[in-house]
Structure 1
């Protein structure tokens, strides 16, 4: 049996998965997400003798990593942890091998320190304390200092589509992204940007470099994609007419994975690019029929730049998970939601939101073009059971 919680993470992601008795935390929103919702659940789990089998930071973005920084800064060192954590997956700069180099010069360290002093940038929403002041170091530094098993070792290798399946007590996890090429592109983007600031050093691992890299990655945003224009007088648009691919290199570095218990399968897409997901799924499942999961966590909060018609022709599920409060970039986009439910299906689709948004309210009055049955649910902090009809 597999069940999960989709926490109210503002415009971010935070999921706790119970997969046959194995517990997996995937992202943790902002610090306030951890403080208000996740901490109490982990305390209950620890008191019952449970542990986190795996913690996944899908990628370095403030709305995914902030709560994990809060968690790992508070959970304590080895032997005195609030809750035991068996393994952590997190791709930081030191996870990507770089040529050996001489130590950075004083000027280079000053550039990195200037980036570090900016700290982690939080949400622009009015909610209090998106990322707390205590988070003065990167997640990479916290993992090393507190002796966590990081990327199956000390963090010196990456988690990618080439990572072998991980077998937990009640589940198997298959990583389907990112490619090592995408991770390399993020590293090169980082180096290009810091060189514009006068940095002439290498990407050879150091605590200061980890801090500056993660703080920069958590704050960087891609240039806005071209805005779609209405193609009809009533403003009704189809996803195929307005879809433009995501161009954010940090998003392309997202860890995307499949969690299987033997009877259920869930696809978690982080903020991954649709094109990368399709390429991997075609390699895994060359048949033309779509791969049906028990639940799919939609990429990038339902953005029309991360869910394409092509992707939806390759996957389907009776449950879709949409994590966003609608305050950033208008996520989720209604055109994505409509395309999901407009397709024919032999089963009823249930769309779960962690907030009621303009798009979710509009979907409630939408009629599927194919006549397929669907329902809309708001599950702000409730367990979603995949063995039942909807929750």
Structure 2
């Protein structure tokens, strides 16, 4: 099938991520990319209907093994729909070994799900190419589509594999599934005041190894450029962008940025944002869970009031209605916030070049 423009959708994935990209290759043939599957409920609620009519996924990416990214993929592979869809290539970072069936179920939920998914891939799609990804791959070109890998490093992938193996045989690991979006909501300060507060993540990279091992990349399509940050760490992406020659004067220019970790306080720094030039930022969340709420007001502040912004209107898009997110987490933005900074926030799921 011939396609003339890229269309991508940030699916309603509850507190998780699932992104479906419909673009075209150098021959103008369809090229379909699915990045993550959201929570287990995401498949039934949104992923299944968005995959209907698709006969081939050219690239499936599991950015990391947290439940809110892998759960929907497991349901997809267990559903009869999988038999109707060819999958050319899968990007997944995961050690090759058997799961210890006697390990603690709750503590090892992400490891169990990752093992389950990989077994399903091998069973259902034995001819799909399975590939590990790190920044050592640098730039990957698939039929004219260019993927610049920003995370993880080889060292972090190896550390993740070490933790992964330990978690399969231990009942009491410290480095379990760490979610660093927990913070006390700061709604009394203005966005400008919040942006002046230094970025200080709550957890180290090694103690947040699942998120730190996220596969993050720049996708250059024929008509649009996307920065997809998964749940990556700001420190890792900042270092990588600097290695690629970007700085405040010469930032990475992209059409859209999928903000890391659902807009968590601890994954988007002022320094990272200064290395990126874009007018469109996407946040994937329904507001989070009772103990882990997002997006953080501080993250909104850093995006809106970043140091090297141009004068163009800046857009922040959420994949759930603003009113629904506010019901879960409160007034993370208000009318007074919109009076400064020439910016807008709205709910939107599907995007094309024409929307810029």
TM-score (normalised: structure 2):
0.81
2:210, 2:59 → 1: CA distance?
A: 22
- CA RMSD in angstroms comes to 3.2
Aligned with 1:92 (options 82, 85, 94): 94
Which residue of 2 is the match for residue 166 of structure 1?
Answer: 140
Which residue of 2 is the match for residue 70 of structure 1?
Answer: 75
Larger radius of gyration: 1
Segment of structure 1 superposing worse, 186-195 or 64-73 = 186-195
Distance 1:317 1:360, change over 3 A: farther
Which residue of 1 is the match for residue 333 of structure 2?
Answer: 363
| Aligned positions of 1:338-377 closer than 5 A | 338-343=301-306, 344-355=309-320, 356=322, 357-358=325-326, 362-367=332-337, 371-377=340-346
What is the SS of the residue equivalent to 1:64?
A: helix
Which residue of 2 is the match for residue 202 of structure 1?
Answer: none
Q: How far apart are residue 362 of structure 1 and its match?
A: 4.2
Which residue of 2 is the match for residue 56 of structure 1?
Answer: 61
Distance 1:327 1:177, change over 3 A: closer
Which residue of 2 is the match for residue 204 of structure 1?
Answer: none
Asked if the contact 2:152–2:216 (Cα under 8 Å) also holds between the matched residues in 1, the reply is: yes
Q: How far apart are residue 223 of structure 1 and its match?
A: 7.3
Which residue of 2 is the match for residue 114 of structure 1?
Answer: 102
| Aligned positions of 1:139-288 closer than 5 A | 139-146=117-124, 147-152=126-131, 158-169=132-143, 171-194=145-168, 196-197=170-171, 220-222=176-178, 227=183, 234-236=188-190, 237-241=193-197, 243-245=199-201, 246-247=203-204, 248-288=208-248
Distance 1:30 1:367, change over 3 A: closer
2:185, 2:120 → 1: CA distance?
A: 45
Segment of structure 1 superposing worse, 355-364 or 285-294 = 355-364
What is the SS of the residue equivalent to 1:175?
A: strand
Aligned with 1:43 (options 43, 52, 58): 52
Q: How far apart are residue 40 of structure 1 and its match?
A: 1.7
Asked if the contact 2:38–2:68 (Cα under 8 Å) also holds between the matched residues in 1, the reply is: yes
Asked if the contact 1:338–1:363 (Cα under 8 Å) also holds between the matched residues in 2, the reply is: no
What is the SS of the residue equivalent to 2:22?
A: strand
Residues 35-68 of structure 1 show CA distances to partners (whole Å, capped at 9, x for unaligned) of 221112212223xxxx211010000000000011
Asked if the contact 1:62–1:120 (Cα under 8 Å) also holds between the matched residues in 2, the reply is: no
Q: How far apart are residue 10 of structure 1 and its match?
A: 0.8
TM-score (normalised: structure 1):
0.74
1:338, 1:151 → 2: CA distance?
A: 39
Which residue of 2 is the match for residue 208 of structure 1?
Answer: none
| Aligned positions of 1:267-346 closer than 5 A | 267-289=227-249, 290-328=251-289, 329-343=292-306, 344-346=309-311
Asked if the contact 1:75–1:83 (Cα under 8 Å) also holds between the matched residues in 2, the reply is: no
Aligned with 1:6 (options 10, 15, 30): 10
What is the SS of the residue equivalent to 2:197?
A: helix
Q: Does 1:386 align with 2:349?
A: no
What is the SS of the residue equivalent to 1:91?
A: coil
Structure 1 stretches of 5 or more lacking a match? 96-108, 123-134, 153-157, 199-215
Structure 2 stretches of 5 or more lacking a match? 25-29
Distance 1:120 1:57, change over 3 A: same
